Structure 1
Amino acid sequence: MDDKNDRRMNPEKRRLLLEIAAREFASSGYERTSLNRIIRECRMSKSSFYYYVESKESLFDLVVEELSKELLGVLDIPEPKQFAANFWTNTADIFERLTALALERPLFADLGRLFHLPGAPTSPGSAAGSALLATRAWLDGVLAEGVTTGAVRDDLPLSLLREATVAVLTVFDDWTLRHRDDLDDTAAAALVRGQLAALRGLLAPGPTERS
């Protein structure tokens, strides 16, 4: 979306567009998302819509970029060194907050689904691709600091630990987002404990390493 045109959009209309588009992408998938349906729900004319949005891909990028910024503002995630100072406490805290946000604010749950959609633009130059690269760079830093503090095992390559961590988080994240309507507070708390236990089993030093 062109910055100049972006500034001209009415803030209320812009927010409505973001929310409706996020819901449409999350529920229909990237390929089956209908721009015509989004236009109708936003009560915009096609000429007005395409004045602000060039394509489905540019709309997807806008949704991911804006909602990711909003989510990061709510989470206020520490830098790697600060995070690793209380590695497992901070890990549990992030899991709890993300799970609560997914249940309490459907818009953030919709955002989470966007990173798992087949066919969605996730190349390095896209909003989703940039967000994933930034997340993995942060994770690399956290794991390296975790090794330094003794919270993370040091017998395996960091790149392997990062890829395994991403795989575990992706499985839990995808399952949670697909079943969020079936989760009550008890089930959500159990999910957080299970995710934390899975990561501890993967990352925490074994008895020999601790001694």
Structure 2
Amino acid sequence: MPLPRFDRLPPERRELILGVARRHFAEHGTEGASYNKIIEAVGVSKTAAYHYFDGREDLLAVVLDGVFERLLGALGPWVPARDEADFRSRFAAGSAALAAHLRDHPEDLALADAAIGRTDGGRWLDWFGALVTDGQRLGVIRTDVDHGLLVSVTAAVVRAADAWALARMTTESLAEAADLPEDEAWAQLWSLLHGLWGGAVGAPAAGAGEDPTDAR
């Protein structure tokens, strides 16, 4: 946690310091970023910096906590769905919002795994836990597999799918990236989860008019 003097700084000054630190950690890694270079880039003396943070690890923790809160904010709270179609819609919206946030905030993307890992699952898995519990209530998700295992694997699949989609956007030509609509990425994610969850769910929204058994 930052020291009291940091909290007393004007909000724009606090954000400047954290923004510079976030950029350094994103560019050089959580292990490789230099505390001295961060301090220099911010324009404060080492003495002043130690009035704000106990040291490098303290600053890193604050940066990662900020990343984590933005990731959760992008997902939004899981609200129990009315039925299977509403479940698909809510999950698609949350997944799309998270992917969009990571696409638009590359520093958060670079630090996302470290931020999530710092919480040991915690509130991140709580979100997916609420999703799985709701899906089981609706008969969308199987109940013959341990709940915690389903939650962990679902979270991992969503994170991997986000990384895959964003990697394709950055490595392919602009024309090819434009030809990868969100519906396609969503369909592939849903297909993976369909199998994971036991095949109880139908096709994704893009194929709503198809027979659910066609997706098997």
Counterparts of 2:170 and 2:189, CA distance in 1? 19
- Structure number with bigger Rg: 2
Which sits farther off after the overlay, 103-112 or 178-187?
178-187
Counterparts of 1:163 and 1:193, CA distance in 2? 21
1:11 corresponding residue in structure 2: 11
The residue identity in structure 1 corresponding to 2:122 is L
**Kept in 2: contact 1:147–1:154 (CA 8 A):** yes
2:92 corresponding residue in structure 1: 92
Counterparts of 1:56 and 1:142, CA distance in 2? 36
1:193 corresponding residue in structure 2: 187
**Kept in 2: contact 1:92–1:192 (CA 8 A):** yes
Aligned residues: 196
1:149 corresponding residue in structure 2: 138
The residue identity in structure 1 corresponding to 2:190 is L
Shift of 1:57: 1.6
Alignment of 1:167 onto 2:156: yes
2:129 corresponding residue in structure 1: 140
Which sits farther off after the overlay, 87-96 or 152-161?
152-161
Shift of 1:148: 1.0
How far does the alpha carbon of each residue in 1:119-166 deviate from its partner, in whole angstroms, 9 at most, with x for none? Answer: xxx4xxxxx316x31121232232122111112122322122123213
Task: Give the TM-score of the pair, scaled to structure 1.
Answer: 0.76
Residue 69 of structure 1 aligns to a residue in which SS? helix
1:42 corresponding residue in structure 2: 42
**Kept in 2: contact 1:91–1:196 (CA 8 A):** no
Counterparts of 1:17 and 1:167, CA distance in 2? 32
1:60 corresponding residue in structure 2: 60
The answer for unaligned runs of 5 or more in structure 2 is 202-211
Alignment of 1:30 onto 2:27: no
Which sits farther off after the overlay, 48-57 or 168-177?
168-177
The residue identity in structure 2 corresponding to 1:163 is S
Shift of 1:174: 4.3
The residue identity in structure 1 corresponding to 2:161 is F
Distance 1:115 1:176, change over 3 A: farther
Task: Give the TM-score of the pair, scaled to structure 2.
Answer: 0.75
1:96-135 equivalences in 2 (<5 Å): 96-115=96-115, 122=117, 128-129=118-119, 132-135=121-124
Which sits farther off after the overlay, 153-162 or 86-95?
153-162
**Kept in 1: contact 2:39–2:45 (CA 8 A):** yes
Distance 1:38 1:103, change over 3 A: same
Over the aligned positions, Cα root-mean-square deviation in angstroms equals 3.0
Shift of 1:188: 6.4
Which sits farther off after the overlay, 98-107 or 184-193?
184-193
Higher RCO (C-alpha under 8 Å, 6+ residues apart): 1
**Kept in 2: contact 1:113–1:174 (CA 8 A):** no
The residue identity in structure 2 corresponding to 1:202 is L
Shift of 1:197: 2.1
**Kept in 2: contact 1:112–1:177 (CA 8 A):** no
How far does the alpha carbon of each residue in 1:166-204 deviate from its partner, in whole angstroms, 9 at most, with x for none? Answer: 332343344456666336454462433322321122115
